[in-house]
Amino acid sequence: MSDDVSIRDARTEDAEAFVRAHELAWDAMAGPIVGTSLAELVPFESRVESFRAGLAKASADAHVWVAERAGVIVGEAVCVCEAEACELRDLFVVPDAWGSGVAQALLETALAAMRERGATEALLWVVEANTRARRFYEREGWTADGETRASPLGPRELRYRRVL
């Protein structure tokens, strides 16, 4: 990862920048699969309010990180833990930062937090057609376990696991 990128806990004042970065990343990766932009699905202000509300009521079982470069959010990760398993709920990086190591740094941060919490296993769901993300997770030691579900937007998702 580039030395000019840092990973830190998300803050409520990050809401608008977080939502913009998430939208750029989502539109580049998931938009073509789903066939629509994030802005067409959920209004910007609604997503900003959801981010703020989510952080305000976050518990020790949920964590949100951002990756910053020159003061600009270029990626984000979210994990939620229950019992001895944690789920990586989000990991998005803006297209300009693809291949720079930002995703790997966010993933390593999330995995370290999961281990610190005492989790023995990590889970995530990824859209089956998202081959770029699937290759990334497989390179990082994740394995599809055969479970599938329909995503809220329609495409089929695969569940991946990783022993911590």
Report all structural domains of the chain as residue ranges with CATH numbers, in order of start. 5-163 (3.40.630.30)
Q: Is 53 helix (H, G, I), strand (E, B) or coil?
A: helix
Confidence of residue 2 (pLDDT cuts 50, 70, 90): low
pLDDT tens figures, 38-97: 999 999 999 999 999 888 877 778 999 999 999 999 999 999 998 789 999 999 999 999
Residue with tokens 């398993």: 85
CB atoms within 10 A of CB 92: 24
- Specify whether the CB–CB gap between 33 and 65 falls below 8 A: no
Confidence of residue 153 (pLDDT cuts 50, 70, 90): confident
Sheet with 85-93: strands ordered across: 5-9, 62-69, 72-82, 85-93, 121-127, 156-163, 143-150
pTM: 0.91
107-118 mean pLDDT: 95
**Closest C-alpha to 62, from 93, 86, 26, 92:** 86
Dist CA 3 CA 57 (whole Å): 32
